[in-house]
A = this chain, B = another copy of it.
Amino acid sequence: MKEQSVRDLTVGHQVLGFFLVKHKELEWFRDRTRGQFLTLVLMDRTGEILARVWEEAPDLAQTFAEGDVVKIQGQVEEYRDRRQITVERLRLAQPGEYALEDFLPSTEREVGAMWRMLERAIEELKNPHLQALCRAVFGDEEFLDHFRRAPAARRVHHAYLGGLLEHVAELLVMARPLCRLYPDIDRDLLTAGILLHDIGKVRELTHEREFTYSDAGRLVGHVLLSDEMLMAHLAPLDDFPEELALRLRHMVLSHHGRYEWGSPRRPKTLEACALHYLDNLVAQVNRFQQLISRRPDRTKPWTEYDTLLRRYLYAGREELSVEEEGQAE
């Protein structure tokens, strides 16, 4: 783990550590006789910070590119009410010096435990066809390596490394009591739908140094990429029942629920209905939780305006929890 994280840098202190260069730009001093300085946006998994190199910027700028990790020594100052690093020394980091995970936001849950939950869900499938299919999909090591690291979305919810795995694990947790309440739901089918509905996300988003859409992500989209991968894995399973394939495919294709949300189908089976509304529940609660807990100014009761939700969220003025009081007794 990195020693100094962006979130903890405080004005007036020294900084010495590794950061990912998100943005790099040479700018002219207004007095052009003074030449150019360098403006950087540095990031790690805890946030972003502005940095400036005032001396010998043009030469230094040649030695690294956006996306590189650099080692920085400097001073944290304040500029227009925000923190800014005045960089004194900067060099390109060596591959062995850092772990890329430190520079992108990651799940706070344990990846191993979540993965074991998925494995157990596959093992518990009673329908041999669905089990064979899921084993085939999750038996592909290259896929699995991506799947366990991928975020579930670029921005809105679970937008961090491991977010996809976390999202699927949460769905498995929530599906269990729902199946008990509604025994008409075919539990194996719902489980398989949960496991497979988002597999195309490993191809929709690249998540090496930042989360962006691939060409296939924009031109085809994860819903259809999931469908394609599903069909590729179904092809060699000769005796997979046709109707079962249709129902499973329908779940993948309808899990966004509404045409206007880019869903090519709307749910028409009980399991597709359950998958869509579970997905929606878990994604939205995660989204609210992230917006509230990561709001820039935690002293304020309201978040900033969220342009996608078109509203401010309320974090609250006072602690709600009365458990402490209880414990005090």
Query: Using a CB–CB distance below 8 Å, which chain A residues touch chain B?
Result: 25, 27-30, 79-81, 126-128, 170, 173-174, 176-178, 180-182, 184-186, 188-189, 215-216, 218-221, 223-224, 227-228, 231, 235, 241, 243-244, 246-247, 249-250, 253, 259-270, 273-274, 277-278, 280-282, 284-286, 288-289, 292-293, 301-302, 311-314, 316-318, 320-323, 326
Contact = CB atoms under 8 A, between A and B. Distances in A.
A224 B264 contact: yes
6 contacts: A181-B282, A224-B224, A224-B264, A259-B262, A266-B311, A277-B285
A280 B284 CA distance: 12
B250 A219 contact: yes
- Copies of the protein in its oligomer: 6
Given A177-B173, A268-B311, A289-B184, A220 B317 contact: no
B249 A220 contact: yes
Interface residues of A: mostly helix, strand, loop or mixed? helix
Contacts of A220: 246, 249-250, 253, 265
Given A259-B262, A260-B260, A277 B268 contact: no
Contact of A268 (B128, B224, B273, B312): B312
Contact of A285 (B80, B186, B244, B270): B270
A282 B260 CA distance: 22
B177 A269 contact: no
A262 B260 contact: no
A175 to B, nearest CB: 10
A285 B266 contact: no
Contacts of A247: 219, 314, 316, 320
Contact of A259 (B260, B284, B302): B260
A189 B289 contact: no
A285 B221 contact: no
B28 A128 contact: no
Given A221-B264, A224-B264, 4 more contacts: A28-B80, A184-B292, A218-B314, A259-B261
A265 B221 contact: yes
A244 B79 contact: no
A165 to B, nearest CB: 14
A77 to B, nearest CB: 9
Per CB-CB distance, the 6 closest pairs between chain A and chain B, nearest first, are A264-B264, A277-B281, A219-B250, A273-B288, A186-B320, A268-B314
Nearest to A292: B270
A322 B259 contact: no
A32 to B, nearest CB: 9
A251 to B, nearest CB: 9
Contacts of A185: 285, 289
Given A228-B231, A264-B263, A79 B219 contact: no
